[in-house]
A = this chain, B = another copy of it.
Amino acid sequence: MPSVSPTLSAAMSHVADSVTETMERILPRSDFAERKLFEAMRYGVLNGGKRLRPFLVLSSAQLFGVDEDCALRAAAALECVHCYSLVHDDLPAMDNSELRRGKPTVHIQYDEATAILAGDALLTIAFEILADPRTHEDPKVRCNLVAALARASGAKGMVGGQMLDLIAETTKLDIGAITRLQRMKTGELIACGTEMGGILGKASNQHLAALRAYAHDLGLAFQIIDDLLDAEGTAEETGKPVGRDEQAGKATFVTILGAERARSQAILLSEQAIGHLNVFEGRAKNLEDIAHFVVDRRT
């Protein structure tokens, strides 16, 4: 299995550091009695995540020569939404997870009410960031960013996927239903990353469609590998509890296809994703590399 190229690794670290700094700067602090809320928001986002979605925003935005500070703000907004979804997903009434990336989840570190509110506030601030003129001088672009993020993360996107995921615990889903579930739960927000880059760069419809198709395949490949890591990884490697899908009797790509076919499928999707980038005539190197990374990762 090829390992992550040093170039990609450096580029990802750079984006992860920059977007973390951007969130650090944008997220409010407070000296008032409610400071716990602000601390929990920071705790929920400043968690050493891979920042895959921000990397997609930056890499797509780069294709169109977008100013990096603008792209970082949009990426920070997207990451706030991703992190809020993890905070709520970990709640006792949802996945009931106590550990995330090797650290106590927000409701364990603080309490359940604080975790609910911190998630709500992270979702809210994402839209405040996008509507701010510092994210892009053209208000039409900013509105398009807001609309794209809301669509990807709402009832017909991520939140709908989370609902399906809960239903999957008690209902047997077939491969089509699981593909739809995963596309909604994780795929839409991943696709939103490349879409936001395109929106910031006022990309043509042809380029937007290519980015969307790429991200669609990438998102599914990403999820299949997530399922494989849950089935085969260890808590030390992944920084979160493993084997939970199987314990819950939940159908996943791995339980339906088996580990080997699931991995082949992920590799196929990754190659297919890269194919969609032809329209950029070799300029989308970061996006190509990330498609390899997504299937090679161990965490």
Chain A residues within 8 Å of B, Cβ to Cβ = 28, 30, 32-34, 36-38, 41, 84, 88, 91, 93-94, 111-114, 116-117, 119-121, 123-125, 127-128, 130-133, 138-140, 142-144, 146-147, 149-151, 153-156, 159-160, 162-164, 166-167, 171, 173, 177, 180
Contact = CB atoms under 8 A, between A and B. Distances in A.
A153 B132 contact: no
Cβ-closest 3 pairs across A and B: A128-B150, A93-B112, A131-B146
Interface on chain A toward B: helix, strand, loop, or mixed SS?
Answer: helix
A180 B34 CA distance: 11
A163 B37 contact: yes
A287 to B, nearest CB: 26
Contact of A128 (B112, B147, B162): B147
Contact of A37 (B143, B160, B177): B160
Copy tally for this chain in the complex stands at: 2
Interface centre among A33, A36, A133, A159 (most CB of B within 10 A): A159
Contacts of A155: 28, 30, 34, 37-38, 41, 121, 124-125
A120 B117 contact: no
Contacts of A180: 32
Contacts of A138: 139
